[in-house]
Structure 1
Amino acid sequence: MIGSRHSHIYVDGVWRESDSDAFIDLTDPATEGWVGSVPDGSPADVAAAAMAAHAALRGWAEAPSKDRAALVAALADRFDERREEIAHLVTAQNGAVISRSRRTNGTRPIALYRHYAEEAESFKPEVASADGKNIVRREPVGVVGIIIPWNAPQSLLAHKLAPALAAGCTVVVKPAQETPLDSLLIGELAAAVGFPPGVINVVTGGRTTGSAVVDDPNIDMVSFTGSTDAGRVIASRAGHLLKPVAAELGGKSAAVLLDDADLELFSDNLVTTCLPNTGQVCYSCTRVIAPRARFSDVLEVVTSGLASAQVGDPLDPGTVFGPLVSAAQRARVEDYIDSARAEGARVTLGGGRPSIATGFYVEPTVIVDVDRTMRVFREEIFGPVLVVVPHDGDEDATRMANDSSYGLGGAVFSRDVERATAVARNMHTGRISINARSHGVSDPAEGYKDSGVGGSLDISSHLRLKSIAGVADVDRHAKSPRQ
């Protein structure tokens, strides 16, 4: 798919020419070379996809749960066969280092599809009410418009697509304009697996395409991951249309080190906790909140860890930091670094561009002497930039972590797990790791404050509930419900 001009979108089980005559050119962030072109989908393209999804909805929703489960499991298997190709495809579009791309765009999507295939297998559309006297019917919400970002496209697509399909929903997928090729490949896999026409549709494009997804009358729910600014616009429009919306948005998360933190453990997990994907992850803990008495030790760990990390070719397995996704994103990150200097902060590492001939690179950067009012403390940068600030005890650290308009991720490091857990309970954020423990694929978490609403997705997120009273034999109907 790399190096080609694509003119088709995937609608109603077939590849069809886009209604639009406009194209989006894709650029490799490492080489700055041309990767390919895709249609900048029109509202007519979205309308055709939504109509196909609407027409397919009843058949898919009424199919036995085990049949839906089998197709989702088959999608996982077919994805597994092409996981290496998919990982390279994503890296060519967004510059993610290949070691990370293999995990987030290979291993994790497969795990998500397999998990929700198992969930679908045991799903019951009807259950008895709490008092045992009536039936509660759980029906799919309808057609879901899925809008995904560029930073981990296949992981985030699977996070939305898998539970939607398991619940009996049909979908229209609108990938980010920076990473559309891997989503088009999902259309190819869906066709190969044998999904009924119209169940999965993919329309490429930019903002106009995304707006059409939100507005289309045949789309019943919007599932979005992206920036807070875009999320506000989408949630506002969906609210006006009275459509449910799930939005996972930006973050400015904190890694809190208590005074007994194991600095060797923190060092081992520095990049994955604080700057995964070159800092281009909404959960990145880009504020390191360190005990004042050990501040110099923590700063040394952070500085030495980032200084020794390899920066360069994202296809080199040893590379830790690759390029940013675009020249515009690099300029945005550099503007934040400049603003920190202008406001009186001090850059102790990095702050410029590495000596690499091509690509949208910024050096891993550490900033100290940061006031809580500074932009680099408060705003999401989305690049390889850390601020390190001191705290004076657990309560002060918690207050500092919560001093943000965001609340998406977080981390606590302490040798005392109970103490760390107490701090975590008081942090106003949706997902927190203690001593870098990883989360399971189905762990629920929602963003607080400006980090989103309804972003924790599972099968129940894609259902409407209907109560039926006056049934003669509730037990018999609930145990043997009609699909």
Structure 2
Amino acid sequence: MELTIGREEDLRAYSMHIGGSQVVSERRMDSLDPYTGKVWATVPSGTASDVDRAVAAARAAFDEGPWGRMTATERARCLRRLGDIIARDAEELARCECRDNGKLYREMLGQWRYIPEFFYYYAGMADKLQGDVIPSDRPNFFIYTRREPIGVVGAITPWNSPGLLLTFKLAPGLAAGCTFVVKPSEHTPVSTLELAERVAEAGIPDGVFNVVTGDGTLGAALVNHPGLDKIAFTGATETGKRIAAAAAANLTRVSLELGGKSPNVVFADADLDLAANGAIAGIFGASGQTCMAGSRLLVEDSVHDELLERIASRTREIRLGDPLHPDTEMGPVANEPQHRKVLDYIEVARRDGARIVHGGAAAEGLGGYFVQPTILADVTNDMRIAREEVFGPILSVMKFSGEEEAIRIANDTRFGLAAAVWTENVHRAHRVAHRLRAGTVWINAYRVVSFAAPFGGFKESGLGRENGMDSIREYTETKSVYVELNAQPRDPFQLG
């Protein structure tokens, strides 16, 4: 299939979406195409007053609007329509996201073609959020529970996969009956604004889905807003900690999907071709800009050199270039600050004693924010490059001897988002998977997600879970209802 899409030269101008209206602002922000380094779209630079209006619109839609009065079955119909509309427009949405963050068009297209499945899945779950009948210890009471929507959600999304990572929040939240105020990254706001138009087309009432755009000060105004019932955030761990602290002031519920330093553990009995492919996909896919990136490759010492050469040989062939071109395998990083950060980490690793096997510099002659896919050997787990999340195409390779050392090194991190085990020994595969402290563990695979499987982290990789049945519970509260069966007065000063 031909995936090449041309770049139109017309500058796109977008508005915020608040309460069903398009809201303009005198202050504007530019969205740069990371491949060309040129402005391709502009969006409003919102203010705290815009956040106030958006939260008020979401509150009215929840408390007084038709969304709050809809049955779960009616909400499910809206979600299915939204899924159909996204499927219809997947190519345009993917193209916008590619222009915003520089990721491969074919990857973005694959994501947007998969996103409807999330809405179909949660549409099927919307009318199955049933409570329980509680066996009562008091014969004069009938007790049951209800699962009710948590209320107004403030969602803050990152720049690496804004559409997919918003969907992780939006699909279960809408199914539960919540309303949203979304603040996308200032680097990648366009696909979220495009999605807002399609949410309205799906018949979801005004005020249910609001989008405000701006920099970090706007995000701070949102997370500090007392009108929110929940904050759902995906992004850096340090930012997540600040959000949790701000939310605590208002006792706002939070779910945080944060950073990772995920270990890819390869034992000597693994299929090395598959392991090499998995290591490359885990760190150079999406230019390393995924929270689940397999940035630490742990290799049993007896096969270390052989696997390293296989990975290096394939890495030398990676085609960098225009992310809209079908032959491109790795595009630029998403923005100038990230480009500078990745290059700085390479220098830190070099000074700490890591050996550069491949890459180690900016990719010249391509324009935009390109970094060569970089492989570092002789890395030890106490180096900064092995401790801190980089969010770029840098693979740190370490040796281990035996299963116990592999598990010790893998778990020796403040993060716990993802991990992988490569082995042909089925007993070892499950044994090691059980001992790895990570929210997702792949066996002989890497970088796979599903709408049906919970995703989230241990330790400093976050709080709560996205996707699966666990996720919809994050957007509900449990209410207990006691029904008195005997219409007789009882002692008003005695509990029960």
Alignment of 1:362-373 (within 5 A): 362-373=371-382
In 2, distance between residues paired with 1:66 and 1:191? 18
1:358-402 C-alpha deviation (Å, 9 max, x unpaired): 110010000011122211111111111001110001111111111
Residue pair 1:267, 1:301 contacting (<8 A) in 2 also: yes
CA contact (8 A) 1:2 1:89 kept: no
2:463 is the alignment partner of 1:453? yes
Does structure 1 retain, via aligned residues, the 8 Å contact 2:342–2:390? yes
Contact persistence 2:283–2:394 (CA under 8 A): no
2:163 equivalent in structure 1: 154
> Secondary structure in 2 aligned to 1:48?
helix
In the alignment, structure 2 segments of 5+ residues that lack a partner are 1-7, 487-496
Cα offset, 1:22, TM superposition: 2.1
Offset of 1:471 from its aligned partner? 5.0
State the partner residue of 1:11: 18
- Pairing 1:69–2:68 present: no
1:478 is matched with: none
CA contact (8 A) 1:345 1:369 kept: yes
Alignment match, 2:489: none
Distance 1:308 1:238 in 2: 47
Larger Rg: 2
User: Shift of the alpha carbon at 1:99?
Assistant: 1.6
Q: 1:465 aligns with which of 478, 489, 492?
A: 478
Q: TM-score, normalised by structure 2?
A: 0.91
Q: Which residue of 2 aligns with 1:26?
A: 31
Matches within 5 A, 1:366-445: 366-436=375-445, 438-445=448-455
Distance 2:119 2:373 in 1: 34
Q: Give the Cα–Cα distance (whole angstroms) in 2 for the partners of residues 383 and 97 of structure 1.
A: 15
Give a deviation string over 1:39-86, Cα, whole Å, max 9, x none: 111111111111011001034233111100000110010111110001
- 2:104 aligned to which of 97, 121, 138: 97
Using the TM superposition, give the Cα deviation of residue 172 of structure 1 relative to its aligned residue in structure 2, in angstroms: 0.6
Amino acid of the structure 2 residue aligned with 1:111: E
What does the per-residue CA deviation read over 1:65-114, in whole Å, with 9 as the maximum and x for residues that have no partner?
1100000110010111110001110010100011211122x123211111
Matched, 1:52 2:65: no
Question: Structure 2: how far apart are the matches of 1:3 and 1:114?
Answer: 35
Q: Distance in 2 between matches of 1:435 and 1:135?
A: 45
Identity of aligned residues (%): 37
Cα separation, 2, equivalents of 1:375 and 1:50? 41
After TM superposition, the structure 1 stretch with the greater mean CA deviation from structure 2, 398-407 or 412-421, is: 412-421
Matched, 1:114 2:120: yes
Which residue in the other structure is 1:324 paired with? 333
The residue type equivalent to 2:23 in the other structure is: R
CA distance in 1, matches of 2:272, 2:198: 45
Give the match for residue 166 of structure 1.
175
Q: 2:19 is aligned with what amino acid? A: D
1:185: Cα distance to partner?
Answer: 0.8
Contact 2:277–2:311 (Cα < 8 Å) also in 1: no
Partner of 1:479 in structure 2? Answer: none
Task: Give the Cα separation in 2 of the matches to 1:293 and 1:135.
Answer: 60
Candidates 106, 115, 128, aligned match of 2:133: 128
The letter for the 2-side match of 1:160 is K
Deviation at 1:150, TM superposition (A): 0.7
User: Does the aligned pair in 2 maintain the 1:340–1:374 contact within 8 Å?
Assistant: yes
Residue identity in the other structure for 2:102? G
SS at match of 1:410: strand
User: Taking structure 1 as reference, are residues 191 and 393 closer, same or farther at Cα in structure 2, changes over 3 Å only?
Assistant: same
1:406 match: secondary structure:
coil
SS of equivalent to 1:269: helix
Residues in 2 aligned to 1:456 and 1:187: alpha-carbon distance in whole angstroms: 21
CA distance in 2, matches of 1:24, 1:131: 59
Q: Distance in 2 between matches of 1:13 and 1:266?
A: 49
Structure 1 residue matching 2:480: 3-state secondary structure: strand
CA distance in 2, matches of 1:130, 1:384: 56
Query: The residue matched to 2:181 in structure 1 has which SS?
Result: strand
Give the CA deviation at 1:355. 3.2
**Distance in 2 (alpha carbons) for counterparts of 1:87 and 1:107:** 9
Distance 2:135 2:334 in 1: 50
SS in 2 for 1:407: coil
Aligned residues: 469
Distance 2:231 2:368 in 1: 34
Comparing 259-268 with 4-13, greater Cα deviation is found at 4-13
> Aligned match of 1:182 in 191, 200, 206?
191
SS for the counterpart of 2:396 is strand
| Counterpart-to-counterpart distance in 2, 1:38 and 1:114 | 30
Of the structure 1 ranges 152-161 and 315-324, higher mean CA displacement relative to structure 2 is found in: 315-324
Q: Is the contact made by 2:12 and 2:40 (CA closer than 8 Å) also made in structure 1?
A: no
CA distance in 2, matches of 1:111, 1:223: 21
The answer to whether the Cα contact below 8 Å between 1:144 and 1:223 also exists between their aligned partners in 2 is yes
Tell me, yes or no, if the aligned pair for 1:3 and 1:34 is still in contact at 8 Å.
no
- 1:295-329 deviation line (CA, Å, top 9, x unaligned): 10110121112111111111112211110111211
Whole-Å separation in 1 of the counterparts to 2:34 and 2:14: 23
| Contact 2:279–2:294 (8 Å) recurs in 1 | no
Instruction: Give the distance between the partners of 1:263 and 1:185, measured in 2 at CA.
Output: 43
Deviations 1:392-439 (A, max 9, x none): 011111111111111101111111233111101111111111111744
CA offset at residue 346 of structure 1? 0.7
* Matched residue SS, 1:303: helix
Give every structure 1 segment of 4 or more consecutive aligned residues whose post-TM-superposition deviation is greater than 4 Å: 130-133
CA distance in 2, matches of 1:391, 1:85: 46
Separation (CA, whole Å) in 2 of partners of 1:70 and 1:280? 34
Local SS of the residue matching 2:180: strand
Determine the C-alpha separation between the residues in 2 that align with 1:303 and 1:23: 44
1:445 is displaced (CA, Å) by: 3.1
The equivalences for 1:239-388 within 5 A come to: 239-388=248-397
- SS of the residue 1:134 aligns to: strand
Alignment partners' CA distance in 2, 1:375 and 1:455 = 28
CA distance in 1, matches of 2:327, 2:425: 33
Higher mean displacement: 270-279 or 36-45: 270-279
Mapped to 2, the partners of 1:301 and 1:221 lie a distance apart of 46
In structure 2, what residue type is equivalent to 1:230? T
Match of 1:223 among 225, 232, 235: 232
Determine helix, strand or coil for the equivalent of 1:197: coil
Q: Which amino acid is the alignment partner of residue 288 of structure 1?
A: L
Asked if 1:145 is matched to 2:158, the reply is: no
